[in-house]
Amino acid sequence: MATQETTGDQLGRDAALRLQQLKGRLFEVALVAATLVGIVSLLALFAQIGSDAFQPESASATWFLVYLGTLVAPTAAFTLYARRRPAVRETNALAFAAVFGGLLLSAVTYVVVESLSPYDVFIYAAFAAVPPAVVVAYDRTTDGWAYTGPAIPASILVGIAAAALLYDVVRGPIGIAAGWIMYFGLVTVPAALLIGTLTASRRGRRSGIVVGGLVAGGGLAVAAASIVAGTNASLLVVFFSLFAVPTGYVLWRSVRTDPAGRVGVAGPFVLLGGALLGAAVVSQFGIQNPDTFLTPNLLLQSWDGLRAGNAGVYPQIVGSIVIVGFMAVLAFPVGIGAAVYLEEYAPDTGIRGRLATLLEINISNLAGVPSVVYGLLGLALFRRTLGLGTGVVISAAGTLGLLILPIVIVSTQEALRSVPDALRQGSYGMGASRWQTLREVVLPEAIPGTLTGTILALARAIGETAPLVIIAVATTKYSPPSGLFGSATALPLQIFAAASNAKPEFRHGVVPAAAVVLLILMLLMNATAIVIRNKYARET
């Protein structure tokens, strides 16, 4: 009610109000500061380690100017231009993902398949792919078959078993073919099929066949050209199939379907082109490079404990990737299965309900068990009980897989919980069974959340050292692991060993450089998780 207020009352009220506002603002500032404290400290530490790794003080000013002109300025200009236009921004982001994702995928595929032997991989892949293809064809022609669902995984297993049995027979004859033919079969053929199918679904069968044929033909042409030129045919075939073709497809479609955002596709090429141009100028004019250990040597050579400039961690990088890859294959299915059980199948009450509660408590406890204890578990399980050798890839992958299993389960549970119940009920209402609902409705919705959590767990596992020390994984190897039962090696172990090298240039030069490589691997994985999460984010 409006009453007579004295000026004094009014001033008093305003003062109290302003005090509250001040308190609120201070609180908000304190919150922001707290949020930033960890991030800023870490950035400061990264800056230090990066500076030790790159040694920027040793580069001449001209070096900085060159790269400023060729790389930084054009990229910055392009980014500013793209920021204002949402269409351009989107195609730019897509182009970056395609280009760098393609480059990374090609590199990793080539390196891993090459270590495991392309012939072995091809044999197993071919044997594993034929039976399910037969099943799918049969399913198509007979208008649906009740047994298709379980038949496909079963046929894959049959194929792999057949490969194992017939390996010795087949290996000899297959070995006659050149390496690039294996890669052709492994990557070019699936790429052609994929692109062909995508085109067919959009523009009809004939276009699909034509495009698929073009891709296959292109692969052959690349191989032929590189054989003539004497370069590495396998590598180029892989880059063609996993980088050039997908990137070309994605970019071509962007350009065709989004005329406004067409310019965006140039983004990654501005960056790459600028970097290459800068490198060319620097080497042409003999400008002083930074005296860094982060060189291609580090990435491509094997270890040398005496000559810091010669030391490389290629086997360890491949080893870490291989271990993490197997670890994901082991932990992902079991983790998803357990989470699905706990969220979808387990009742809330009764004996089963109490069992489910017990399982959940157990899992949250396992998430907190120290990594050293998992190392001891791995030692007992894989060494003593299963009798595998010391420090083999599968022991390392298994031990680390057990380590991240609880994390995968918990993040999958969270993802499943976030799927609205209405979707499930709708599916049941249409007569679908529980498994069908899971397969068609719930899991597809939950996969992005699961993937995010798993990739973050993988990023953490790639840096784990203690369990590997306990299961006696080799610190130094001069070649990457050759298979599941071959001996493993990992990047963090070599870093840890190099930190006690007597020579200072190792402790203060090679170690930060290798640490930066490990950090980049981790950041790449984190970035992938973020991209997936952003792409599939649901409006809640």
Partner 1 sequence: MSSESDEATPLRRSGFVVRKERFYGRLIATCAVLTIAVTVGIVLALSGQALSFWSQISPIDFFTGTNWSPVIANDYGVLPLVSGTLLVTVFSALIALPTGLAAAIYLSEYASDQARSILKPALEILAGVPTVIYGYMALVYITPFFKGIFPSLRTFNVLSASIVVGIMIIPMVSSISEDALSAVPDSLRQGGYGLGSTKFDVSTKIVVPSATSGIVASYVLAVSRAIGETMAVTMAMGMSPQMPYFPNVTQNLAESGQTITAAMVQIASADSLGSGPTYEAMFALGMTLFAITLTMNVLAELVRRRFREEY
Partner 2 sequence: MARSHDADTDRITRRKSLAAIAGAGALGLAGCTSDGSDGSDGSDGGSESISGDIRISGSSTVYPVAQEVTRSFAEQNPDVDFNLSRDGSGGGFENVFIPGDSDINNASRPIADDELQRCRDNGIEPVEFFVARDALTVVVNNDADFIDSITLEDIATIWSPDTAPEQWSDVNSDWPDEPFDLYGPASTSGTYDYFTETVIGETEADQPIREDFEGTEEDDLIAQGVQGNVAALGYLPFAYYVNNPDSVKALSLSVDGSDPVEPSLEGAASGNYPLARPLFFYGNMNMIQEKDHLQTFLEYYINEADEEYIAENIGYVPSNSDMVDANLANLEAAAAGEYEYEPISTRD
- Residues 49, 54, 58, 62, CA torsion sign: negative
Smallest gap from residue 157 Cβ to partner 2 (A): 8
20: exposed, middle or buried (Cβ count in 10 Å: 0-12, 13-18, 19+) = exposed
Residue 523 contacts which entry, partner 2, partner 1, none (Cβ below 5-8 A, type-dependent): partner 1
Residue 125 contacts which entry, partner 2, partner 1, none (Cβ below 5-8 A, type-dependent): partner 2
Shorter beta-carbon distance to partner 1: residue 174 or 499: 499
Alpha-carbon distance of 273 to 269, in angstroms, equals 5
Structure token pair of residue 246: 């997908």
Residue 113 contacts which entry, partner 1, partner 2, none (Cβ below 5-8 A, type-dependent): partner 2
Alpha-carbon distance of 288 to 243, in angstroms, equals 33
- Residues 228, 231, 237, 243, CA torsion sign: negative
- Quick check: 337 binds partner 2 (CB under 8 A)? no
Residue 252 contacts which entry, partner 1, partner 2, none (Cβ below 5-8 A, type-dependent): none
Q: Which of 466, 503, 505, 532 binds partner 1 (CB under 8 A)?
A: 466
Smallest gap from residue 167 Cβ to partner 2 (A): 6
Give the 3-state secondary structure of residue 470.
helix
Neighbours of 357 (CB within 10 A): 13
Shorter beta-carbon distance to partner 2: residue 54 or 326: 326
> Which phi and psi angles does 290 have, rounded to 5°?
-65, 150
Residue 229 contacts which entry, partner 2, partner 1, none (Cβ below 5-8 A, type-dependent): none
- Quick check: 184 binds partner 2 (CB under 8 A)? no
Residue 107 contacts which entry, partner 1, partner 2, none (Cβ below 5-8 A, type-dependent): none
Smallest gap from residue 205 Cβ to partner 1 (A): 25
Q: Which of 99, 128, 211, 265 binds partner 2 (CB under 8 A)?
A: 128
- Quick check: 301 binds partner 2 (CB under 8 A)? no
- Quick check: 103 binds partner 2 (CB under 8 A)? no
**Residue that has been written with the tokens 């054009």 in this structure:** 74
Q: What is the dihedral of CA 137, 139, 142, 146, to 10 degrees?
A: 160
- Quick check: 341 binds partner 2 (CB under 8 A)? no
Q: From 352, 348, 354, 464, select the one nearest 407 (Cα to Cα).
A: 464
Q: Which of 87, 194, 519, 527 binds partner 2 (CB under 8 A)?
A: 194
Q: From 121, 27, 37, select the one nearest 482 (Cα to Cα).
A: 121
- Quick check: 136 binds partner 2 (CB under 8 A)? yes
Piece of 40-48, 297-305, 402-410, 416-424 that binds partner 2 (CB under 8 A) = 297-305
Q: From 61, 63, 44, 498, select the one nearest 293 (Cα to Cα).
A: 498
Alpha-carbon distance of 389 to 489, in angstroms, equals 14
Structure token pair of residue 220: 């052959």
- Quick check: 479 binds partner 2 (CB under 8 A)? yes
Q: Which of 94, 113, 238, 298 binds partner 2 (CB under 8 A)?
A: 113
Shorter beta-carbon distance to partner 1: residue 45 or 221: 45
- Quick check: 477 binds partner 2 (CB under 8 A)? yes
Q: At what angle do helices 86-116 and 314-340 cross, to 10 degrees?
A: 110
Q: From 257, 134, 236, 143, select the one nearest 184 (Cα to Cα).
A: 236
The alpha carbon of 206 is separated from its chain's Cα centroid by a whole number of angstroms, namely: 35
Piece of 1-9, 103-111, 225-233, 491-499 that binds partner 1 (CB under 8 A) = 491-499
Residues 115-144 touching partner 1, rule: CB under 8 A, are: 143-144
- Quick check: 276 binds partner 2 (CB under 8 A)? no
DSSP characters over 337-374:
HHHHIIIII--SSHHHHHHHHHHHHHHHHHTTS-HHHH
- Quick check: 408 binds partner 1 (CB under 8 A)? no
- Quick check: 306 binds partner 2 (CB under 8 A)? yes
- Quick check: 74 binds partner 2 (CB under 8 A)? no
Shorter beta-carbon distance to partner 1: residue 234 or 494: 494
Piece of 73-81, 112-120, 422-430, 532-540 that binds partner 2 (CB under 8 A) = 112-120
Structure token pair of residue 496: 């840890």
- Quick check: 350 binds partner 1 (CB under 8 A)? no
Residues 52-111 touching partner 1, rule: CB under 8 A, are: none
Q: Which residues contact 206 (CB under 8 A, 6 or more apart)?
A: none
Q: Which of 151, 409, 443, 451 binds partner 1 (CB under 8 A)?
A: 409
Alpha-carbon distance of 505 to 492, in angstroms, equals 18
Structure token pair of residue 296: 């291609």
- Site map 382..401 versus partner 2, x via CB under 8 A: -x-----xxx-x--------
Q: Which of 363, 392, 396, 400 binds partner 1 (CB under 8 A)?
A: 363
